[in-house]
Amino acid sequence: MSPVQHRPPLPPFTRESAVEKVRLAEDGWNTRDADKVSLAYSLDTVWRNRTEFTNGREEARQFLARKWKKELDYRLIKELWAFTDHRIAVRYAYEWHDDAGNWFRSYGNENWEFEADGLMRHRFSCINDMPIKESERKFHWPLGRRPDDHPGLSDLGL
């Protein structure tokens, strides 16, 4: 059995710690490293992503690996929507293209619930994909973490 893992910031959340948790999640997903990202979720995590249901960290890891093989040049921005002691709601947008070079901007909302150790136990996500022209892209930073000076969703009018 592995030692107890803590994933700060821990609940109960304040506005400041909820904003930090959202940015850390964005940063993680922008690595597109399914092994690393999956460690933010509890071993028994439960997800609903679009119409796919995922149970457990390993299924979440497999889901993420498939996702980032399909969604190429993925760049994500998340923004805090609301929070309580152990729950956070976010809205987000990400841009990506498929293997045929078709670009998309995907818009979504997520509801998160955390365990006391800061690992995410529940993740419920609704997403819509909008085809865009490459010239309509708004997320132009190098792959990886969004630079601190890059505008967020509200700043971009999204």
Q: Domains of the chain (ranges plus CATH)?
A: 15-136 (3.10.450.50)
Q: What is the pLDDT along the chain (158 residues), one digit of tens a residue?
A: 445 579 999 999 999 999 999 999 999 999 999 999 999 999 999 999 999 999 999 999 999 999 999 999 999 999 999 999 999 999 999 999 999 999 999 999 999 999 999 999 999 999 999 999 999 999 999 999 999 999 999 999 99
- The pLDDT score that the predictor gives to residue 116 is 97
| Residue 38, H or E segment | helix 34-38
> What's the pLDDT score for residue 114?
98
Q: Quote the pLDDT of residue 1.
A: 42
Rounded to two decimals, the pTM is: 0.95
Phi, psi of 18 (to 5 degrees): -65, -45
**Number of other residues whose CB lies within 10 A of the CB of residue 116:** 10
Write out the H or E segment, with its range, that includes residue 58.
Answer: helix 57-70
